[in-house]
Amino acid sequence: MGRSQWTRLFVIALSVTAASLIASMAVGTALQQAEVQVVSPEEYPFTSLERDQPLLILAAVNILPIFEEWVFRGVIIDEVVRRRKSKLLAVMVSALLFATFHLSNPGTYPAIIISMLPASLLLGACYLYTGLGGAILAHNAYNTFLVFASLFM
């Protein structure tokens, strides 16, 4: 990749990160105002890890997206496009599966799907425009921002 292609990848990935954070915070705030619980801080494993092992959580939230993006964007989007010829459907299916997958985290409630959908859709779009590398970069930047925000807020 040339310099302009790297620049394009970073600009798109970081733009997706910013848009994802804004959208997720807006949805999260709306859910909080409606008194809908997304996670149980007592049961959510990342709560104590963020407090007790910030470097470990930072490593985890930057390694896991590699696999998540590979499966949810790289495999699922490509397969849906191949079978249904619809990028929009592929991004929607991928986003819904990605958000639903996070119910497997201890201490999460079904409303987490609603709060994760905006970022999931944007990561799917990022994958279409930049490929797997851009989606991973955007996902890592998103997670890293959330970890730093939770440490300093």
For residue range 48-59, list pLDDT tens digits in order.
777 788 788 888
Residue 119: predicted pLDDT:
93
Is residue 85 left, alpha or beta, with left meaning phi > 0 and alpha meaning psi from -120 to 50?
left
Start-to-end CA distance of the chain, whole Å, equals: 38
Predicted pLDDT of residue 107: 83
Do 94 and 119 form a contact (C-beta atoms < 8 A)?
A: no
Block means of pLDDT (10 residues each) for the chain, 153 residues, are: 88 92 90 88 73 83 94 97 97 96 88 92 95 95 87 73
| Per-residue confidence (pLDDT) for residue 68, from 0 to 100 | 96
pTM for this structure? 0.89
Per-residue confidence (pLDDT) for residue 58, from 0 to 100: 85
Q: How far apart are CA 22 and CA 1, in angstroms?
A: 30
- Dihedrals φ, ψ of 39, to 5°? -135, 160
- The pLDDT, as a whole number, for residue 2 is 85
